[in-house]
Amino acid sequence: MEWIFLGTGAGVPSLDRNTSSTALRFTETGGNIWLFDCGEGTQHQILESPVRLSRVDRIFITHLHGDHIFGLPGVLGSRSFHGVTTPLTLYGPKGLTEFVEINLRTSGTHLRYPLMIEEVEDGKVFDCAGFLVTVGKLEHGLPSYGYRIEEPDSPGELLVEKLRREGVPSGPHFGKLKRGEEVVLADGRRLRGKDYLGPIKRGRRVAFLGDTRPVERGVELAQDVDCLVHEGSFADGCEDHAHRYFHSTSRQAAEVARGAGAKRLILNHISSRYRTTDIEELMAQACEVFPYVDVAFDHSMFSVERPV
């Protein structure tokens, strides 16, 4: 899977960074895409990215601030305009349904595909196409959520070489062994699946957190993840400002990553006060706390590989 950052700014668009949106593309399983947040101009950013609206089948909204949702009506409408008929599900805070309905109704937008909207709350856990999604409430003035996504573990591979060495003929019992079952061969030998399977492959775990002060719930959501996306709106020295406006500094984001035992941190939602040269500073401050840090720019892509 890979993150494709479409908008990495905060509050308002600038010439450098658009308002918030990030795609998670499931490269190994057909290339379907989940979006996280949908600021104004997300569909414009998509035009210049590998993302296709036809592949987007879920959109997760972290919170209802304008820089995270004002692009949603346009994405919904254009997905239909381009002839997509496959279903789409939205997840987000209470109020999302009314927002979407009024926008579609006012604009006379009739979608050609089924649209489902699920309003979430703290502690909700649900299955999304085999992935386990956990919702946690953060601290941002208005309800803001983080999403933890867990890929299921995969059973180990069938040790075909070992079976061949032991003279086991191939046949339907290979499938049973692969599923971990017990089989009895024609010559009377009894084989247990678990003896012929490689190690279980742990699924990937990622967390995408909405705007927030650094909070314990964020640490919980990011526990042992392979990749955490956390806002790092501000630099050292802006702690008071960040606290007042319910945001985090890059160092605070790194403290969350360290506390959670995350493997990697991607800083997102960067204030437009920081230009390219200041970004190294934001990064350096985070790296003093946690070594595996990247800063996302618009159109940055980061792949998340299966842990070995």
Catalytic residues: 67
Is 63 marked as binding a ligand?
yes
Our finding on whether 81 is near its own copies (CB under 8 A) is yes
Q: Of Zn ion, its own copies, none, which one sits near residue 77, judging by CB under 5 to 8 A according to partner kind?
A: its own copies
Our finding on whether 102 is near its own copies (CB under 8 A) is yes
Our finding on whether 269 is near Zn ion (CB under 5 A) is no
The binder of its own copies chosen from 50, 141, 156, 203 (CB under 8 A): 141
Facing residues of 192 across strands? 182
CB 18 within 8 A of CB 9: yes
Which residues have C-beta within 8 Å of that of residue 296, sequence separation ≥ 6? Answer: 3, 5, 8, 22, 229, 266, 267, 268, 270, 302
Whose Cβ is closer to Zn ion: residue 211's or residue 298's?
211
Which residues have C-beta within 8 Å of that of residue 88, sequence separation ≥ 6? Answer: 56, 57, 58, 59, 76, 79, 113, 114, 115, 116
Q: What distance in Å separates the CA atoms of residue 257 and residue 265, rounded to the nearest whole number? A: 6
DSSP states of 240-257: HHHHHTT--BHHHHHHHH
Our finding on whether 40 is near its own copies (CB under 8 A) is yes
Our finding on whether 112 is near its own copies (CB under 8 A) is no
The binder of its own copies chosen from 83, 106, 170, 276 (CB under 8 A): 106
CB 4 within 8 A of CB 49: yes
The binder of its own copies chosen from 49, 89, 103, 300 (CB under 8 A): 103
- Taken in order 111, 132, 204, 286, the sign of the CA dihedral is positive
Sole window of 29-37, 62-70, 257-265, 290-298 interacting with Zn ion (rule: CB under 5 A): 62-70
Is 110 marked as binding a ligand?
no
Whole-number CA gyration radius for the chain: 22
Whose Cβ is closer to its own copies: residue 82's or residue 194's?
82
Sole window of 39-47, 111-119, 152-160, 206-214 interacting with its own copies (rule: CB under 8 A): 39-47
Whose Cβ is closer to its own copies: residue 16's or residue 236's?
16
Residue type, 229: V
CB 113 within 8 A of CB 58: no
Residue type, 143: P
Q: Looking up tokens 């909204």, which residue turns up?
A: 61
The binder of its own copies chosen from 74, 214, 218, 232 (CB under 8 A): 74
Distances (CA, A) of 238 to 51, 250, 287: 35, 10, 17
Is 243 marked as binding a ligand?
no
Residue type, 244: R
The binder of its own copies chosen from 28, 31, 48, 241 (CB under 8 A): 48
The binder of its own copies chosen from 28, 86, 98, 185 (CB under 8 A): 98
Q: Of its own copies, Zn ion, none, which one sits near residue 188, judging by CB under 5 to 8 A according to partner kind?
A: none
The binder of its own copies chosen from 2, 26, 32, 41 (CB under 8 A): 41
Sole window of 69-77, 131-139, 216-224, 290-298 interacting with its own copies (rule: CB under 8 A): 69-77
Residue type, 293: V
Sole window of 63-71, 146-154, 212-220, 270-278 interacting with Zn ion (rule: CB under 5 A): 63-71
The CA-to-CA distance between both ends of the chain, in Å, stands at: 15
In the structure encoding, which two tokens stand for residue 178, read together? Answer: 């692969």
The residues that touch its own copies, with contacts defined as CB under 8 A, are 11-15, 18-19, 40-41, 43-44, 47-48, 64-66, 69-71, 73-74, 77-78, 81-82, 95, 98-99, 102-103, 106-109, 141-142
Which residues lie near Zn ion (CB under 5 A)? Answer: 65, 211
